Structures are given as C-alpha cells and as structure tokens.
Structure 1
Amino acid sequence: MKRTRVTMLVVITAFIHCSIAYSQSGDLRQFPKGSSPEEVGKRVAARFLASPHPNFGRPTPPSVITYPEVCAWYGALAFAKESKDKAMANDLAKRFEPLFGADTGLVPKPDHVDHSVFGAVPLELYRQQKDSRYLALGKKIADKQWGTPEGPHVKPESAVYAKEGLTWQTRMWIDDMFMITAVQAQAYRATGNKMYIDRAAKEMVVYLDSLQQPNGLFYHAPDVPFFWGRGNGWMAAGMSELLRSLPKDNPDRPRIMQGYKKMMASLLKYQAADGMWRQLIDDPASWAETSGTGMFTFAMITGVKQGWLDAKTYGPAARKAWLALVTYIDDNGDVREVCEGTNKKNDRQYYLDRKRITGDMHGQAPLLWCAAALLR
C-alpha cells in the first residue's frame, strides 16, 4: 500500500510539473480547450459576419467602409483560408458582393492611407475566389497609391514624397506602415509583380529611419514622443506582413529585418507578467490594451513560425499573450479593452484617457490575424 501511495505521489507530482512546463512553454500548436486558434478564430469571424458595417462606434452607418473593418475582413479571410473553411470564405465574399452594385458608394476613394488599405480585401478575395473583378478593383487602388496626387488630402509635401519614389500618401505616422504595406504586399501576392513589394519595402525603410527610437519602439509621429500601443502594433504587424512575402534578394530586406528584430526584443522587456502590453508601452501607470497586444502577438507568432525569431525566447511570450487575449473575448465574440480610434497628440494624458471599447474592429482584427498565423 505504501509503495502504491508513493507511486501515485510521483505520478501526480510529475503531472503538475508537466502542466506548469506546458503552460510556460513556447508551444504554438496545442492549446487548452476553448483557446485554440480554430475555436477562437471561428467565434470572432462569425461575429464579424454577423456585424453591420461599423462606423467608429457611432450608431449611424459609415459613409464608406472604414479601415478597422478592412483589417478584420482581411483577417477573417486569412483565417478562413488557413482553417480551410470554404463556407466561411464564401460568406465573406457574399458580404463584398453589394459593393459591386447597390452599395458601390461605400468603396473608399484611394486618396488617403486609411482609405487605400481597403484594396487588401478585394486582392485577398481574388487570391481565394479567382474572380477578375476583385483583381481589377484591388490593383486600381494599389496603383493609385503611387499615382498622381489628387483629392482633399493632398498636401504640399505630397509631390515631394512622390518625386522621391514614395507614395504621395506618406505622412510619417506609424499607422501608415500597415495601411500602406498591406495593400502593396497583397498586390504583389495577387499579381507576382515585384514592383508592389519593392516600393512598399522602400517606404518601410524611410519610416524605420525616421521614427524608430534607440530602444526599438516608435513614436506615434516625429512630434509626438509617446510609445502608443496600437500605433506600435501597426508597425509590428506591417513589418511582419511585408517580410512574410518580401523576396530574399530585395536590397531593403536586411534593414527591415533589423528594425523588426530590434522592436521584438524591446517588446519582450515591456510585456507584463500576465502576457499583455499597455496602452503606452513603457508606462507602468497605463492600462492593458488588447488591440496593440494582439498585433504584437501576431508579429511574434509570425516571427517564430518563419524562423526569424528564436522559438525558445519568443514562443513562450507569444503563447502567453495569446492565452491572455482569449480571456478578453466575451460571450458575444467581442474583444474588450480596445483603445478607441486615436489621432496623434503630444500629451501623455490624452493617451491614458482614451475610451476603452468592447467589440471595436480595431481589436477584433488582430485576434483573427493571430488565429490565422497560428494555423499558417
């Protein structure tokens, strides 16, 4: 009897140690029930499909499709592809169909980075559905981003940027490095034309040289010295999306990879014990914010999966962040503690006082990106 008790104690102790090791591991393949990428992605994507076109939290419909919806739509399409859910992919295509007809006015004019990113959705739909209408629309938007400056958002410096081989929509906000690179990377994936990915890479280097600080993080803009969470998230996600498709022989790839790894190393230092990152990354008084955390998690998952980052170092951080994020999803499939839409402002309190929203597409999108990346 004594030997049996000793044996049971050894087994139980071993089980506990294994459970602790498993929870602290960097395994990005196996997750507890309810937190797998398949389960989470399906819940959040279903919520997206059931949602009307959002308008930054306002009760009225938007005048055009907003960029947070674009990001969630692209994420849902990526998840549908990686989870091999053809029914979901078809439903996501059906959501787009009215934009070719009665709702064509909802298609944003490609006159600003926040509008031009819309092109990422039809280009992904083309890749999955092979309908030439999607390619024509997405390619037109990607081409216009490097075309002739026109529209209400043109500024005196727009022509200067265009002459330097950059997009005339350049404005030196870190948000741009997802908005610009997403549509250009998608145009490359859809057409195979290196012109798109090459010019996106050139643009990224300019932003890296202008905005990345010695600690690896990014000011929101040159005149706003704060490390805003989601702003840095756009940068992390943008570099990840770009590097994922940037050819190995591209001359700008080493510089972008250097900037990416420098940022990831810095993020490791600022990750909270519970796996989250803050609204202002380096400010202990700031609150845990889900959209930025989701974007950083996506960037780390992608880096580990692609072999850019050391799996033993970054795998546990990515896993911890993912498991933390899942706890912020409510029964409706909505993510809470999402920072509202935020312009730049040289004021710390401005960032700390931003509203915390539940179900905003800024927060829904990164969860879908992460789910797709975990399956990719």
Structure 2
Amino acid sequence: MRQVRFIVLVTALSCFWGLAQSQKDIDREDALKSIVKVNSYFMEKYSDYTATSNVGRVRPSNIWTRGVYYEGLMALYSILPKEEYYRYAYDWAAFHKWGYRDGTVTRNADDYCAGQTYIDLYRLNQEPVCIRKVRANLDMLVNTPQNDDWWWIDAIQMGMPVFAKLGATLNEPKYWDKMWDMYEYCRNQMAGKGLYNAEDDLWWRDGDFIPPYKEPNGEDCYWSRGNGWVYAALVRVLSEIPADEKHYKDYVEDFMAMTKALVKCQRNDGYWNVSLHDPKNYGGKEVTGTSLFVYGMAWGINNGLLPKDEYLPIITKAWNSITKDCIHENGFLGYVQGTGKEPKDGQPVKYDSMPDFEDYGIGCFLLAGVEVYKIK
C-alpha cells in the first residue's frame, strides 16, 4: 500500500511539474533562438530554393506550401533583418519571375499565395517588377463577377491577405471590396449555407463537412489547421486595412468570436487537437493549428484586441509546450500534420514523423514565434 501511495504521489508531482513548466513566463530571447534555429534548419536543407517538390507529382517551389514558409520568413526578417533572409526570399521570387504556377490568369488561391511575399519585398525595394503580376492577377479577379473561388477555407489565408496588402500598398479600396465579396460568399453562401457555423463560431473546411457529416463522437468536424488558416487570415487582413474600412469591424467580430471558441478547445497541455470538437479522433499534439492559434492570440494582445492578463497564460502554455516538445536538436520541427483537409490526413503525427511538405509547418511556427517575441 505504501508503494502504491508513493507511485501515485510521484505521478501527481510529475504532472504538476509538467504543468508548471508549461506555464512559466515566455523568455523572449529563447523564443527568438527557437525560431532562428528552426528557420536555419530549413534554409540549410532547402538551400536550393529552385528545386521542385515531387510528392505524388512535380510541383514548383512557389505553390502555397512554400508561400506560407516565406510569410514566416518575412515576419522573422521584420524583427531580425539579416541579409541572408532577404536574399533567400528575393532570389526565390526572382527565380519564379515574380509569378505563379499557372500564371496571372489563375483563380486558385493556392497559386497566388506567393503574392504576399512579393508585396512584402516590393515594400522593401520599390522595384515595380515585384508586383506587376500580382496586380495583373488581382485586377483580373476584381474585374470578373465570380465570388465563389474560395470554396475551401484554406484559400482564405492563401488569397485574402494578398488583396489586403495590395490595397494598402497602392491605396486602392477596390481590392478590399472584392476581398470582402469573396470572404462573405465563402462565409455565408458557399455550399448553400456558408462554411462558417455561427452556433460554434468555427468553420467547416469545405462543403463536404457541413452536417449531416459528423465526427465519430457525433460533433461537427472542425479541422484545426483549417480554422487556423482563417484565424491567421483575419490577423493578416486586420494588420493591413485601416480601422475605417467599411468591413473592418466585421473582421474584428469574426476574430473575437473565433478566439473565444478556440480557447474552449485548448488541451490541458497547451496544444489543440486536429479535430477541435472530437479529441479522440486522431487526438494528440499538433503544431500547425496550435501555432496559428498562438499567432492570432499573440497578435491580438500586441494590437490591443485581447487583454494580456487573460490571454497570455493561454499563449504561454501553448508556446512553451511547442518549444519543449517539438524542436529537434538540429531544428527539425516535429508533430506537424501533413497536407490534407481533415483529422485523418497526414497521419501519424509524431515527434519524429516527417510530413510530406516541411515548409508550411515551419512558416506557421515562425509567424507564431515572431508575434510571441513582440509581446512586452
């Protein structure tokens, strides 16, 4: 009996110690070291930024997965402006001639995601070539009546910030108007009822997941990373448009509603499950969704939308868990779910499992880390 009590005590102390570790204050310098380490791993392994990927089929290196990585890299450059970061981004963009996989006629947000980085580079060097094709592509979208291109919620993050950034760069509200039309269609009309469920303040990934589709436990399917994409897009849009833009308050309302819904889904160890309302459907640690939620909440604190005393403990628990559990000695990032659209895709998600694409997971992590670093 004494031995049983001892084992129970040791277990309880271990749990307490793990919780205490995850709730320690965030060390900003350690956060910066972590993101630099992970980014260095990626830049060294993928030093040939021109190389195609060959997962199932050949894809160029300017598709959405790499575009998300460069979003993170440009965020890192904003707080640590190393020339090697700028050159790595600039040379990649120049190799692709500042264009997209299917050219300026593409309506696929996965293609024009790269435009976010092209615009960021233009802001640094003012070279017109950086945004000529971005502008041509968005003008085509503005000048045609379709608003239903974003039929899956990942597209909101891939495409929406391009409109926000170009509108701010050129002081052209027409891009913001079209951005709203496409966002509103996806939110409220896509697949007959819209992909946003106001009852839970979360998003179905696409029309395939609108009820009667259910998770094994009977709940709606809210995919973590998919909701993370929307959450990140709202952050990136609100960072660009002025407070008096006609739909600014609508975006803020969605951001705040999602924030409250996401807090309810956080695991005790700080992560979010890949299925937000069904912890047993491939439950476990997962970095991409968790990083995007950290990114959004940290940005909310930094921009005065979220009270620091309420949300910093939530962020701290998540961030400290990621940096403690997921980063290998060489900078490899574990617990990244591979590409897909639902909890079962890209499995298993483990510390040492290699996702089909490494780039977007690191991009999500960099975005989170930079905003965490900014918290004062």
TM range (shorter): 0.7 to 0.9
Match of 2:237 among 233, 242, 246: 242
Structure 1: gaps (5+ residues): 1-19, 149-158, 345-349
Which residue identity is paired with 2:196? Q
CA offsets per residue over residues 142-182 of structure 1, 9 Å max, x none?
Answer: 3233344xxxxxxxxxx5xx2xxx3x5232x1112111212
CA shift, 1:238, in A, is 0.8
Partner in structure 1 of residue 119 of structure 2: 123
Partner in structure 2 of residue 336 of structure 1: 334
* Equivalent-residue separation in structure 2 for 1:61 and 1:170 (angstroms): 24
1:44 aligns with 2:44: no
* Equivalent-residue separation in structure 2 for 1:353 and 1:65 (angstroms): 21
CA shift, 1:56, in A, is 6.4
Partner in structure 2 of residue 11 of structure 1: none
Count of aligned pairs between the two proteins = 328
Structure 2: gaps (5+ residues): 1-18, 189-193, 211-220
Give the TM-score normalised by the residue count of structure 1: 0.78
Partner in structure 1 of residue 321 of structure 2: 324
Which residue identity is paired with 1:46? S
Are the structure 2 counterparts of residues 105 and 174 from structure 1 closer, same or farther at C-alpha, using a change threshold of 3 Å?
Answer: closer
Between 1:254-263 and 1:57-66, the stretch displaced more is 57-66
Match of 2:195 among 205, 211, 222: 211
1:274-285 counterparts in 2 under 5 A?
Answer: 274-285=269-280
Which residue identity is paired with 1:290? V
Match of 2:177 among 172, 181, 198: 198
* Equivalent-residue separation in structure 2 for 1:120 and 1:141 (angstroms): 13
Which residue identity is paired with 1:73? Y
CA offsets per residue over residues 297-343 of structure 1, 9 Å max, x none?
Answer: 11111111111112111111112211122231222322222222114
Partner in structure 1 of residue 23 of structure 2: 24
1:211-290 counterparts in 2 under 5 A?
Answer: 211-213=195-197, 214-225=199-210, 226-285=221-280, 286-290=283-287
Partner in structure 1 of residue 9 of structure 2: none
CA shift, 1:23, in A, is 6.2
Alignment check: 8 A CA contact 2:69 2:363 kept: yes
* Equivalent-residue separation in structure 2 for 1:145 and 1:45 (angstroms): 34
CA shift, 1:276, in A, is 0.4
1:371 aligns with 2:356: no
**Identity across aligned pairs (percent)?**
20
CA shift, 1:55, in A, is 6.1
Are the structure 2 counterparts of residues 77 and 114 from structure 1 closer, same or farther at C-alpha, using a change threshold of 3 Å?
Answer: same
1:177 aligns with 2:177: no
Between 1:123-132 and 1:264-273, the stretch displaced more is 123-132
CA shift, 1:237, in A, is 0.5
Which residue identity is paired with 2:182? E
Alignment check: 8 A CA contact 1:240 1:299 kept: yes
Are the structure 2 counterparts of residues 352 and 170 from structure 1 closer, same or farther at C-alpha, using a change threshold of 3 Å?
Answer: closer
1:141 aligns with 2:123: no
Which residue identity is paired with 1:217? L
CA shift, 1:369, in A, is 0.8
* Equivalent-residue separation in structure 2 for 1:114 and 1:287 (angstroms): 28
CA shift, 1:59, in A, is 8.2
CA offsets per residue over residues 256-293 of structure 1, 9 Å max, x none?
Answer: 21111111111111111111001101112122211111
* Equivalent-residue separation in structure 1 for 2:69 and 2:121 (angstroms): 14
Between 1:268-277 and 1:55-64, the stretch displaced more is 55-64
CA offsets per residue over residues 206-253 of structure 1, 9 Å max, x none?
Answer: 433322221211111233041011111111111111112222112222
Are the structure 2 counterparts of residues 332 and 185 from structure 1 closer, same or farther at C-alpha, using a change threshold of 3 Å?
Answer: farther
Which residue identity is paired with 2:43? L
Are the structure 2 counterparts of residues 119 and 144 from structure 1 closer, same or farther at C-alpha, using a change threshold of 3 Å?
Answer: farther
Are the structure 2 counterparts of residues 126 and 190 from structure 1 closer, same or farther at C-alpha, using a change threshold of 3 Å?
Answer: same
Between 1:43-52 and 1:296-305, the stretch displaced more is 43-52
Give the TM-score normalised by the residue count of structure 2: 0.78
Where 2:55 maps in the other structure, the secondary structure is coil
Q: How large is the RMSD of aligned CA atoms in angstroms? A: 2.8
Alignment check: 8 A CA contact 1:208 1:259 kept: no
CA shift, 1:192, in A, is 2.6
Partner in structure 2 of residue 13 of structure 1: none
1:70 aligns with 2:63: no
Partner in structure 2 of residue 58 of structure 1: 55
Which residue identity is paired with 1:244? S
Where 2:340 maps in the other structure, the secondary structure is coil
Where 2:114 maps in the other structure, the secondary structure is helix
CA shift, 1:202, in A, is 3.8
Are the structure 2 counterparts of residues 106 and 222 from structure 1 closer, same or farther at C-alpha, using a change threshold of 3 Å?
Answer: closer
Are the structure 2 counterparts of residues 105 and 199 from structure 1 closer, same or farther at C-alpha, using a change threshold of 3 Å?
Answer: closer
* Equivalent-residue separation in structure 1 for 2:365 and 2:244 (angstroms): 31
* Equivalent-residue separation in structure 1 for 2:54 and 2:309 (angstroms): 40
CA shift, 1:21, in A, is 8.5
